[in-house]
């Protein structure tokens, strides 16, 4: 993304952003494009916003592990300036924001639980982006964002998905009963409202 477009996007996002907001982007990489296609969504990645030392950061689970990424760098990874901000219907208190930060720190404190799971297994000890957001909000606030479902259910609901790609990705055998949780299910979660979107 060109600097002028990135500057404008960053300014628009900052003007809208609150701590605890959830940010969705679309990553320009083959795997992530297949994730988006397979879930019937434009988005393939998600994290949530916090402030540290008066700087906006996004806590995210990405390859290879959970980390805090400067907002500008997070936004620079999206395709065509595609970004969406979603927020809980009820405003978060300062105590709840602190609980989110504490839960994120706790869940990303040790290996291997911080490592990214390229098989998107919800029941694994390891993380992937939408699972991490789900677990942090559940641990901190008792709120479950998104819907866990089996790969069989997901692919049945999304006939446009490339079964051939996923069969290759899983080395010839798709683990149909494996549970996963997608950014798309969080985009459509009615506990959240869309605050800003370029999509």
Q: pLDDT at position 111, please?
A: 63
Alpha-carbon distance of 84 to 91, in angstroms, equals: 18
pLDDT at 110 over 80: no
Which candidate, 45, 57, 70, places its Cα nearest to that of 128? Answer: 45
Label residue 149 by pLDDT band (50, 70, 90): very high
Q: Of 57-61, 89-93, 105-109, where does mean pLDDT reach its minimum?
A: 105-109
pLDDT at 102 over 70: yes
Domains of the chain: 3-197 (3.90.1720.10)
Higher pLDDT, 36 or 4: 36
pLDDT at 83 over 70: yes
Alpha-carbon distance of 84 to 101, in angstroms, equals: 21
Q: pLDDT at position 18, please?
A: 98
Label residue 174 by pLDDT band (50, 70, 90): very high
CA 3 to chain centre: 24
Which candidate, 54, 46, 55, places its Cα nearest to that of 74? Answer: 46
Specify whether the backbone of 75 is left (phi greater than 0), alpha (psi in -120 to 50) or beta: alpha
Work out the average pLDDT over 29-48. Answer: 92
Alpha-carbon distance of 32 to 10, in angstroms, equals: 22
Which candidate, 11, 21, 95, places its Cα nearest to that of 51? Answer: 21
Q: pLDDT at position 5, please?
A: 86
pLDDT at 15 over 80: yes
Label residue 114 by pLDDT band (50, 70, 90): confident
């Amino acid at each position: 993304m060109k600097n002028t477009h990135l500057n404008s996007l960053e300014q628009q996002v900052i003007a809208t952003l609150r701590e605890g907001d959830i940010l969705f982007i679309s990553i320009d990489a083959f795997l992530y494009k297949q994730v988006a296609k397979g879930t019937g969504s434009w988005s393939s990645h998600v994290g949530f916003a916090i402030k540290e030392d008066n700087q906006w950061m996004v806590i995210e689970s990405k390859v290879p592990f959970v980390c805090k990424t400067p907002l500008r760098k997070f936004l620079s990874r999206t395709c065509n300036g595609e970004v969406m901000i979603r927020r809980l219907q009820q405003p978060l208190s300062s105590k709840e924001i602190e609980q989110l930060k504490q839960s994120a720190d706790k869940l990303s404190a040790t290996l291997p639980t911080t490592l990214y799971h390229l098989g998107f297994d919800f029941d694994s000890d390891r993380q992937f982006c939408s699972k991490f957001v789900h677990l942090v909000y559940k641990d901190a606030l008792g709120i479950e964002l998104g819907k866990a479902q089996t790969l069989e259910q997901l692919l049945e609901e999304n006939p446009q998905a490339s079964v051939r790609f996923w069969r290759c990705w899983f080395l010839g055998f798709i683990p149909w009963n494996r549970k996963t949780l997608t950014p798309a299910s969080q985009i459509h979660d009615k506990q959240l409202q869309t605050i800003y979107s370029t999509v």
